[in-house]
Amino acid sequence: MGEHSLEHSLMRGTSERRGSTVSPWFAISAVLALLVTACQPAAYAPVSGPQGGDAGSASPPRTLVLTDRQEPANLHGKIAGSGSQGFGKELFNADLAHYDATGTPQPYLAEKLPELHTPSWQVFPDGRMETIYALRPKLTWHDGRPLTADDFVFALRVYSNPQLSVFSSDPQKLVEEILAPDASTLVIRWRSLYPEAGELTASSLDVLPRHILEQPYLAVEQDQANRDLFLNHPFWTSDYVGAGPYRLARWARGIELEGVAFAGHALGRPKIDRIILRVIVDENTVLANVLSGDVQYATTLRFEDAQVLKRDWVPAGKGAIGYTPALFYHQVQFRPEFQKTPALLDLRVRQALVHAMDKMAIVDNLYAGDTTSADTFLNRQDRGYAEVDRAITKYPYDLRRAEQLLNEVGLAKDREGYFVNAAGTRLAPDYQVLQSAAYERTGQAITDIWSRAGIDVQYSVLPNSLVRDNEVRQSFPGIATPGISSSNPLLFLKNLSSSAIGTPANRWSGNNRGGWSNAEFDRLNQTFNATIERSERERIVADAMKLASVEVPAMPVFYDFYVRPVVASQLRGPSMSMSSLGTLFWNVYEWELR
């Protein structure tokens, strides 16, 4: 569920499947779209001509063409509610640490990560902590200016300003202060325990260029009326300056982003000189581009597309397909002002719906049995799954038990076989899925299964044009499929906690879109975030998943896999499998085109 989460309105794909307040960000995006599309061609032009390679290079520079179906609203990962929109941010950003394909944290801008119970990571008796990061020498921004510890100090000022509510609150709400004793040393003092303090990756304390943003930010501190001017600064979009492997050279809104290799990249200059990240929403178009050789790297395709590639493309040695684990699930709306079917607020009705869901039929009939049904939010391969599996309550497919539960709440079948209340009104919950061929196919199958069980489901599709409207996403009227999610337990706990509920005050950000609130679950989440020992954290996860299985705020359906990456044979270097924490472009600077 989630932000990293992980929440692409991507297509499901793989051999796995189971069973408004308009913010300034969107305002500037719309303006930029008008300005850019006015001078951009309607179709993609073939990549040709000079490509910005090193002067004097013996061979012509190479261009890598990638695709993603979602365009980022901005290029900064710290902006709440936007971290899951597109993968482009990884190409242009760098953080203190990043996760490799196995989910293991690796130093990035930092020369070495803090180690617990050493001078670099101290835990004090009162629960406070201190971590020290030594930055790599001679770090620079894309514009050539030095990147120093002072840029992190400045970033904390920005993120901690209550007037700027667009930035996610973790983890700076736990940070007491950041000191920069010198240009390459970062001292972070924590108010309380924070297990990820030694691996600050994307969306944590993302560094900001003080030399670009300090003057606009001072205007905000002097007068709150300047807030929107700061948030609409072109830095966040068309003039973005980061420290990642590629520097933004051009952004044609709705079409593509172009990046050029950054010689000052902390881990070394990328071997590929130029990248084109094309925004292609339609999966058939992505597949056609892969088959034609016009695209060398695709982040997502459908299950059916993977089958096409496995029949001819892969056996012919033209490329390979990777899979990233994820979960297909439903959320229930718990806010009465949005919920059109109040019966769903009764636990017995939610339990009945799970009992009436034939998950194996979905897996077998739609996905050729290539995956398995899910009873919880952790992948079977993840550490701690056995303990979770023993702890949770399970709801096997059982129409008799489903009927018993619905009878208990006063619902009985009418002559047409649908459950109705004493007044003859049918149990007809709204069921919404995101727009995509795979989502819709799965949603229709689940609708049919529930209908045959006597539940008059009102099926609907949320169009792609509304996927980034946080208020719309938060106010669904019944049951919704928010997208497939990473099984990362940290995101599971965060995304079902009360603090992740969207409200007008936080611009409807947060992934607890159903608005479920449970004091014990919140306590477990807080305890998890204040616990450092791994074994104890796994026990807390098991307790939290046990509670969620009893209360059914969300319904796991099946384990899915993003069909990603899809890599043409001439591209060497991408990781072909990912953990739930792994990042696609963690080693992109090492990739080669042959």
Q: Of 362, 321, 324, which is closest to residue 6 (Cα–Cα)?
A: 324
Name the superfamily (CATH) of residues 104-212. Answer: Dipeptide-binding Protein; Domain 1 (3.90.76.10)
Name the amino acid, one letter, at 448. D
Please check the confidence at residue 10 and state whether its pLDDT lies above 70.
no
At residue 33, does pLDDT exceed 60?
no
pLDDT digits (tens, 9 = 90+) for 541-583: 999 999 999 999 999 999 876 788 999 999 999 998 777 677 8
The C-alpha angle with vertex 210 and arms to 207 and 216, in degrees rounded to 5, equals 120
CA 202/CA 83 separation, integer angstroms: 9
* Alpha-helix runs per DSSP H in 265-408: 283-292, 303-308, 347-355, 359-367, 385-391, 399-408
The answer to whether residue 53 scores a pLDDT higher than 70 is no
**Residue type, position 556, single letter:** P
- pTM score of the predicted model: 0.72
Query: What is the separation of C-alpha 7 from the centre of its chain, rounded to a whole number of angstroms?
Result: 4
Asked whether the CA dihedral 226, 230, 231, 233 is positive or negative, the reply is: positive
pLDDT in tens, 103-153: 889 999 999 999 998 999 999 999 899 999 999 999 999 999 999 999 999
Which residue is it, tokens 């019944």?
478
Q: Residue 399's CB: how many other CB atoms inside 10 A?
A: 14
Residue 489 structure tokens:
């337990």
- For β-strands 63-68 and 274-279, DSSP reports them as parallel
Give the SS3 label for residue 24: helix
Name residue 332's amino acid. V
Where in the sequence of the chain do the CATH 3.10.105.10 domains occur? 326-560
Q: Quick one: CA dihedral 234, 235, 240, 241, positive or negative?
A: positive
- With 70 as the cut, is the pLDDT of residue 435 above it? yes
Of the candidate ranges 12-21, 281-290, 333-342, 425-434, the one whose mean pLDDT is the lowest: 12-21
**Environment class of 442 (CB within 10 Å of its CB; exposed 0-12, middle 13-18, buried 19+):** buried
Task: Specify the 3-state DSSP secondary structure of 329.
Answer: strand
Mean pLDDT, all residues of the chain: 86
Which residues of the chain does CATH 3.90.76.10 include?
A: 104-212
Q: If you classify domain 326-560 with CATH, what class do you get? A: alpha beta
Cα–Cα distance, 490 to 486 (Å, whole number): 10
Q: What is the DSSP letter of 424?
A: S
Among 131, 514, 538, 188, CA closest to 329: 514
* Residue 196 in this model has a pLDDT that exceeds 60: yes
List, for residues 385-413, the tens digit of each pLDDT value: 899 999 999 999 999 999 999 999 999 99
